[in-house]
Amino acid sequence: MSEAECGTLHFWQKGRRRRHLLLRLVFDEKGTVSLYLILIIVPIFLFCTVFIDYARVKAAEKESEQAVKTALRSTLSAFSVPLHDYGLYALDPSLADSSEIYRKTLENNLSGQLETSSFRYIDTRLADGSDRLLPMYSLANHQVLRQQILEEMKYRAPIIFGLELKDKFMSSGISSKLQSTVQFADHAQKVEQLLDERDEALDEAWSYFEKMHLKAGTDYPFYETNLNALHELSGKVGIHTADEVRKTIADGKQQLERLKDQIEGIDDSINSLARAGAAYEAFQSLLETRGKLSAQVSELSAKITEWEQLLKDVLEYVKLLAALKLKSASDYTVLAGYLEDYNTALNKAKRANEALNAELKLVASEQSGGSMASNEVFKSIYTISPQDLDDYASQTAAVAALFGGLKSQLQAVVFFTAENYTSTSGANSQYYTSANALYGQQNGKETARNRNKGAVSSGKKEQRNKAHPALDQAVKAMGGCSVLAPDALGTVYNELQRNYGAYMDTNKAMPGVDAVGGMKFDKLDNAGTGALALIDKLGELLVSARDYMFINEYALDKFNYRTFGIEKDQAGNIKPSRSLSDPSSHALPSQEAEYVIYGSSSCAGNYGRAYAELFAIRLAIGTMEALTDPAIEALNLGSPVLVLLAALAEGAVKAALDMVKLLDGETVPLSNKFTKNITLTYKDYLRLFLLLHGSEQEKMARMQALIQQNTGDDLKKKTTYVQGSATTTVRLWFIPGLMQMVKSIGVHDCTPAGNRCEITKTAYMAY
């Protein structure tokens, strides 16, 4: 057997032995129990080790999470005491101190830090340098500040606001009466404006009709005289024309010359016979012929004279007729111009009258359920029906049309006959009579319409003069600051404005448009308009205000204002301040709330606007009281604005007296006429102004600036919401590799590292 064959045989025998051993292992029954136990116990053992470490890891995770949260709570407990006086909570500015508190609390709440001789199931420890404390939001954030203010004030503001302000206006009925005052003023101004527009247009239309009437008065005698003259000339002229008469005169003169020549020839013959000594009988026939010719000359000369007069009459007739045609056309153009201007003015009056009647109808419908006594003035307004104005227009047009007829007749005349005279003279008379009749009819209406204008004008002037001293006093008071010298607070205000701008920028807020415009007291009319607009806006806010009142009440509770420290209770005693923020010690004395409302960079600016709005509200209330009992004389004059001005003047005088008391810290009845037992203070009116000026972002930025000014704490560095994180480790007892495999299926958050497992936890917490 060769060597190759021997090798092959050896390999075959070796493989056969292996197969034999495998068959024995599979089919041999010896050792079966041992193998079975191994297959069962090993997985159970592995499962137990994994389960034990898994349970320990989950316990460590829970412990780590609780430790992080506890550390955050402990960190937040180190809040700023000065800010706490304002009802605000935030961390102290030193972030290192906060981090130290966080780290120590975290370590002290981990089981690995505890020293014990007993068995310890887990040994959770803080990984070196893994603790992180991250500030998230600060009190510079308006949403954060707003939430803390709501928490501070939610149990107090509704009671204060409801009892001291809202109920005083709503339940007393003053709010509805003030709205009725606003409504009356609105109607009064609209009606008066439409009334003025109508009357101004009617005055203009009447002035043009007066021109038409005056023209009719001058036209009538002119045309009457000239028509008579034309009629007389027409009777003389007949149907002759100037050319015809001229030809007749020329023919007559030629015939006259021939007769004169014949007479001269006869005279020469007679002279010749006389020189010849002829007998009388010889030239007697010539003398008879001459006499007949002389008679013909005389007769023809007379006729020529008549014809020449006729020519003059014809020329005068033609001239007069042409003049009348030109004059009538010119007069009609003037009259038509007057009529066009008249119609333009009257159409304007019609539109204003239609709007006026509609407004009066609306007023009447609103009064059906009861109204203020002042509304009676609307019934005294001189009203005009649309039909009256239509009749006025048509009758005026008829006057112009009658003259147009006269003009047309004159333009059509070629030979002015007796019929033409009768027709044109009649048209002229109708034109004049119609103009006179319409003037007499309309003049009475115009007199009635303008009957009370003088009294209304003088009454308005009187009421404006009556209110002038009170308004002048208000204007002077608006420009001053009674706390300190003007320059004493300049530095404080400059710093406030800088901080205010910074907080607005932090919140990316833009200054809003103030819904309440500036008050103007230069004239009673402007003062009334501003006051009633303020009341109208206030009425809406009293109904809809909710969260705003919490912010507003916070401003009045934590900051000072003009009458802070001098306000008196019903017994006349000074009211004590219970605010922890101690407003009396603030850098901006007695004007912080005004600054929050208006944001002016000076004491005078803030005081001035507060004074103006306070005066405006008292003016509106005084006006309301006066409108409930207006003077009968004013009602009968039919001028709603006069009634309103009279009420405003009376209200201005009362408001000036009330202002003195309010600024002295005294209470003033909401209405001396209706609610004497319900009183308000200067602070109550500031509540109203806080509602009126509703830009919450601006008010909060100003409060932040004031808090920083008073506490010295920059709210941008005052944390209210923090994130805490930490990495802890726990020792694994068994097989770390198996825990890594289990982690891959997401049943725990532990990352094995050597014989320990790392756990990272993050938590968030806010005040």
The first and second tokens of residue 429, run together, are: 């008379």
- Does 638 have pLDDT greater than 60? yes
DSSP summary character for residue 636: H
Angle at CA of residue 396, ends 395 and 402, nearest 5°:
85
- Does 222 have pLDDT greater than 80? yes
For range 454-474, the mean pLDDT: 85
Alpha carbon distance 183, 178 (integer Å): 8
Please, where are the H alpha helices in 77-132? 81-84, 95-108
Contact present, 605 and 582 (Cβ < 8 Å)? no
Counting residues of the chain whose pLDDT is more than 70, the rounded percentage is 78
- Weakest-pLDDT range from 96-100, 631-635, 729-733: 631-635
Alpha carbon distance 56, 47 (integer Å): 14
- Weakest-pLDDT range from 235-239, 433-437, 617-621: 235-239
Q: What is the pLDDT of residue 516?
A: 63
DSSP summary character for residue 375: G
- Does 8 have pLDDT greater than 60? no
Q: Which of 545, 542, 553, 527 is nearest to 618 (CA)?
A: 527
Q: Which of 636, 676, 649, 572 is nearest to 377 (CA)?
A: 636
Q: Nearest 5°: phi and psi at 485?
A: -60, 150
Please, where are the H alpha helices in 109-173? 142-153, 157-161, 167-170
The most confident of 52-66, 406-420, 684-698, 729-743, by mean pLDDT? 684-698
Higher pLDDT, 300 or 347: 347
Q: Can you give the residue ranges of every domain in the chain?
A: 31-139+718-766, 145-171+455-711, 197-360+390-436
pLDDT, tens digit, 9 for 90 and up, residues 244-260: 767 776 776 777 677 77
Alpha carbon distance 64, 125 (integer Å): 9
The first and second tokens of residue 59, run together, are: 């316990």
Which are the contacts of 655, defined by CB distance < 8 A and separation ≥ 6? 470, 474, 615, 618, 619, 621, 622
Contact present, 728 and 753 (Cβ < 8 Å)? no
- Does 537 have pLDDT greater than 80? no
- Does 482 have pLDDT greater than 80? no
Mean pLDDT score across all residues of the chain: 81
pLDDT, tens digit, 9 for 90 and up, residues 110-127: 887 766 666 667 788 888
Contact present, 130 and 107 (Cβ < 8 Å)? no
Confidence of residue 265 (pLDDT cuts 50, 70, 90): confident
Confidence of residue 484 (pLDDT cuts 50, 70, 90): low
The first and second tokens of residue 501, run together, are: 């701008």
Considering only CA atoms, give the Rg of the chain.
57
The first and second tokens of residue 267, run together, are: 């005279």
The first and second tokens of residue 108, run together, are: 């002290």
Name residue 760's beta-bridge partners.
Answer: 727
Contact present, 553 and 678 (Cβ < 8 Å)? no
For range 188-196, the mean pLDDT: 91
For range 454-462, the mean pLDDT: 85
Contact present, 719 and 136 (Cβ < 8 Å)? yes
Q: Nearest 5°: phi and psi at 134?
A: -115, 115
- Weakest-pLDDT range from 90-104, 153-167, 547-561, 689-703: 153-167
Which amino acid appears at position 550 of this protein?
F
Q: Which of 332, 338, 356 is nearest to 196 (CA)?
A: 356
Name residue 752's beta-bridge partners.
Answer: 757
For range 189-214, the mean pLDDT: 94
Taking the CA of residue 212 as centre, how many other CA atoms within 13 Å lie in the half-sphere pointing to its CB? 35
Higher pLDDT, 431 or 694: 431
For range 526-542, the mean pLDDT: 77
Q: What is the pLDDT of residue 264?
A: 76
Burial code (b: 16+ CB inside 10 Å, e: under 16) for 309-337 equals ebbebbebbeebbeebeebbeebbeebee
CA dihedral for 426, 429, 431, 433, sign (positive or negative): negative
Confidence of residue 174 (pLDDT cuts 50, 70, 90): confident
DSSP summary character for residue 162: I
Please, where are the H alpha helices in 479-602? 490-506, 524-544, 547-558, 592-598
The first and second tokens of residue 515, run together, are: 């819904």
- Does 2 have pLDDT greater than 70? no
Q: Nearest 5°: phi and psi at 109?
A: -105, 15
Residue-level length of the chain:
767
Alpha carbon distance 193, 641 (integer Å): 9
Contact present, 216 and 399 (Cβ < 8 Å)? yes
pLDDT, tens digit, 9 for 90 and up, residues 56-85: 878 888 988 899 999 999 888 888 889 999
Counting residues of the chain whose pLDDT is more than 90, the rounded percentage is 26
Taking the CA of residue 274 as centre, how many other CA atoms within 13 Å lie in the half-sphere pointing to its CB? 9
For residue 721, the tally of other CB atoms under 10 A from its CB is 18
Q: What is the pLDDT of residue 524?
A: 82
- Weakest-pLDDT range from 22-31, 185-194, 306-315, 407-416: 22-31
Asked whether the whole model's pTM tops 0.85, one would answer no
Alpha carbon distance 326, 320 (integer Å): 10
- Does 100 have pLDDT greater than 90? no
Alpha carbon distance 211, 206 (integer Å): 9
- The gap between the terminal CA atoms of the chain, to the nearest Å, is 99
- Does 49 have pLDDT greater than 90? no
The first and second tokens of residue 44, run together, are: 């159970």
The first and second tokens of residue 533, run together, are: 């607009």
DSSP summary character for residue 381: S
Confidence of residue 308 (pLDDT cuts 50, 70, 90): low
